[in-house]
Structure 1
């Protein structure tokens, strides 16, 4: 389990950026993300990595067509088309809270667990903070039942303020009670301007 952020990786370069084939300019990033169905091949991905100066590349699969596993990319994350921005925000660890967070080195380590991942999320809205945490956590755990034998898991907590240690403990204990002891679990937190809301986002190795 890892929940410490490395300040040496906090700078003005976004951790994760989504790139499209139609982009004329590639802004710099640490994690270069792309939609696998956008007609990328090994050559164009090599050009993307060089142009963006990304440390590594990650594909986002939004359809049922498996992407060719190329050595040039670190892994593929399956998600719905309307979840692409949520995945990018989760991977953009530079903008995360420094109380509970991970860095890009941990993201790289997580992708070394496997090369195929699934994105899931859960959220709750209301006035009682404790109820929000409990509802969202149970929703996430219910989705993780089929991933109880996963090798790697990354969970992001999102709320109007940094989660307390009590909140972190509740979420982590509920998740870790479901999974095997040898799974690598990483946590981060970020701030949202959406009031009365607690959201959990997760990526787990699904292959």
Structure 2
């Protein structure tokens, strides 16, 4: 775990931004996200990377469409259509929070494995400790049975800054619930806008 941020993007530039083919201009970001099925070809991706000044690109795969431009992008995150914005929020790390990571950390995950799967759980109504425990159980239940995880990024979001005890509980619970010969993990915490809410977002890569 890390407790500092990469200061290169501490201005108003988002760490992650979702780009569309129909956009007239590409705002700057550190991580350029795009939906693979929106017909991005090699030239469009190169133009996106240049105009957005992104450090790297991440494709969001919402169907079974194959993608052969892995030489241009850093990696792929498989998700449901309704989860696209949640994936971007996970990658759009914040400099505020109990635990912070930086863009380089996310890049290192994709250097380890190219393809990740996104899962999440959202709990409302209850004391934070109860919501944290329920969220931890629900996120683990979405993992494959006896998974051998190679890479994991977990975002912990609460309506108030997540406490150290609840954060430690979630991390310990998840790491005890998965198999890994060499588990490569990053965690980050943030505050959400929704009152009395607790959310976990995660992307993971399995050993094949």
Is residue 165 from structure 1 mapped to residue 164 from structure 2 by the alignment? Answer: yes
- Find the aligned partners of 2:71 and 2:102 in 1 and give their Cα distance: 23
Q: RMSD in angstroms over aligned alpha carbons?
A: 1.5
Q: Distance in 2 between matches of 1:96 and 1:69?
A: 31
User: What TM-score do you get using the length of structure 2 for normalisation?
Assistant: 0.93
Kindly state the Cα deviation for residue 65 of structure 1 after the two structures are TM-superposed.
1.6
1:98 CA drift (Å): 3.2
What is the count of residue pairs matched by the alignment? 205
Q: Given the superposition, is the C-alpha separation of residues 98 and 7 from structure 1 closer, same or farther in structure 2, using an over 3 Å criterion?
A: farther
Task: Determine if the alignment matches structure 1 residue 84 to structure 2 residue 84.
Answer: yes
Aligned to 2:150: 151
C-alpha separation between the residues in 2 aligned to 1:26 and 1:54?
A: 10
Q: Please report the TM-score for the alignment, with normalisation by the length of structure 1.
A: 0.93
- Map Cα deviations across residues 66-95 of structure 1 (whole Å, 9 max, x no partner): 2224201000101111111111111111x3
Q: Which runs of 5+ in 2 are unaligned?
A: none
Provide the C-alpha distance between the structure 2 equivalents of 1:43 and 1:7, rounded to a whole number of angstroms.
30
Distance 1:147 1:41, change over 3 A: farther
Are 1:14 and 2:45 counterparts? no
- Secondary structure, in 3 states, of the residue corresponding to 2:142? helix
CA distance in 2, matches of 1:35, 1:99: 31
- Contact preservation (8 Å) 1:97, 1:162: no
Deviations 1:52-74 (A, max 9, x none): 11000000011122222420100
CA drift of 1:146 comes to: 4.0
Q: How much has 1:148 moved relative to structure 2? A: 2.5
**Distance verdict in 2 for CA 1:7–1:69, change over 3 Å:** closer
Q: Would the alpha carbon gap of residues 147 and 87 (structure 1) be closer, same or farther in structure 2, given more than 3 Å must change?
A: farther
Give the equivalent residue in structure 2 for 1:51. 51
| Structure 1 portions without partners, runs of 5+ | none
* Deviation by residue 1:152-205 (Cα, 9 ceiling, x = unmatched): 100001111111110111001011112325111101111112111111000111
Aligned counterparts, 1:22-171, within 5 A: 22-93=22-93, 95-146=94-145, 148-171=147-170
Task: For 2:139 and 2:166, locate their aligned partners in 1 and report how far apart those are by CA, in whole Å.
Answer: 14
Describe the shift of the 1:118–1:147 C-alpha distance in structure 2 as closer, same or farther (beyond 3 A). Answer: farther
What SS does structure 2 have at the residue aligned with 1:144?
coil
Q: 1: distance between equivalents of 2:204 and 2:168? A: 20
